[in-house]
Amino acid sequence: MDPTAYAELLKESGNQVLKNGNFSLAIRKYDEAIQILLQLYPWGVPPRELAVLLCNKSSAFYSLGKWNEAFVAAKECLQWDPTYVKGYYRAGYSLLRLLQPYEAARMFFEGLRLLQGSPDQIQIADFLVGVFTTMGSDPIVLQSFLPCFDHIFTTGFSTEVWQSVIEKLAKKGLWHSFLLLSVRKDRLPRNIHVPELSLKSLFEKYVFIGLYENMEQVPKLVQWLVSIGASIETIGPYPLHALMRLCIQAKENHLFRWLMDHKPEWKGRINQKDGDGCTVLHIVAAAHYPGYLIKRKWRHQAGGGAVGWMTSGVREPDHTFLPFSSWDGLKRAKPFVDLSMTGRAGYMQERCGSREGRWAGVPMLFWLRWLLWG
């Protein structure tokens, strides 16, 4: 068989076993094909053929978790053909794994430069994801490449490219990198729409697990994602509860009020109870009364009952017994905030008939007013 044809056969076989997950065998086949082409190189073998094989070899090493070998193969690929864009992609991600974000950023930006004017929108989106991944990993790297980073927002990438970037970042759970994008959302195309985007991993990271870094930026990110098509239902089984927790943790009330204004159908779900029988109002109360939910659960298990805290003396605001809906309760909370602290205390003491009722009601009403009216 012709050596060139045999090398091509080895490459195709290597690609197939790579897809099947046999990475070590793929490397052996690529190496054999590379050796054949190296021997034929003096007789006119195109450097691109060797670059492709070395890039595929880098991909196999990367899949094996051998980051250094993956980078060496990608670097050799670019030595044979500095215009082979995929080599920059493989080198960039290998360098990220080797904890070299500065060098990784150079690779991603160089690949983007070569792709300018290219119709391959998938590759452009992949490199943009690489850029955001790198910039989000190290603030020093972001500062170093800030002019290059800002330039990508003036390049005029299509709506389809940016939609693909958003979807890829979300699927990878790169929400820290997402924050960089959301800050510059006004520089993106206006007609972006991503209805398939899920918010589940975002809330798992920042609300349920409790990663508080840059928490103050997360509500604005959520609002933007919902405005471009992300479904609130993807948060989890009790999305309003999660949104309220986010507002409280971020000390930011605009998101919840924005949702009630722009998605009025969600007002009817304020009364929804989670698996522990808690509504959104319980979440607010628990945020300001340590042990409130535990005490409430104990009281209910003990069979103790009470008239609503708005109508009789109780020691904590248990609105389960309110004679009106939770949404009505939220609205009726508004007037209390206009009272002075002394006035509120006296009013609640008169309504609740006890000193304990006074302190149970006032802060909760204050928070409800804060969350809904600012």
| Distance separating alpha carbons of residues 248 and 152, to the nearest angstrom | 35
pLDDT digits (tens, 9 = 90+) for 315-324: 444 433 333 3
Residue 270, pLDDT above cutoff 90: no
In this predicted structure, what is the pLDDT of residue 78? Answer: 97
Which residues contact residue 318 at a Cβ distance below 8 angstroms, ignoring those fewer than 6 apart? 296, 299, 306, 308, 309
Domain boundaries, the chain: 193-269, 292-374
pLDDT digits (tens, 9 = 90+) for 111-160: 999 998 888 899 999 999 999 999 988 889 999 999 999 999 998 899 99
| Distance separating alpha carbons of residues 345 and 234, to the nearest angstrom | 41
- Residue 231: Cβ within 10 Å count: 14
Mean pLDDT of 189-207: 91
More confident residue, 212 or 185: 185
Mean pLDDT of 245-273: 87
Joined tokens for residue 154: 């003036």
| Distance separating alpha carbons of residues 314 and 321, to the nearest angstrom | 11
Burial of 280-314, coded b for 16+ CB within 10 Å and e otherwise, reads bbbbbbbbebeebbeebeebeeeeeeeebbbeebb
Joined tokens for residue 229: 């098509």
Closest residue by Cα to residue 68 from 91, 37, 40, 38: 91
Share the mean pLDDT of the chain.
80
Residue 165, pLDDT above cutoff 90: yes
pLDDT digits (tens, 9 = 90+) for 287-309: 766 655 555 555 555 554 433 33
Which residues contact residue 58 at a Cβ distance below 8 angstroms, ignoring those fewer than 6 apart? 70, 71, 73, 74, 77, 87, 90, 91, 94
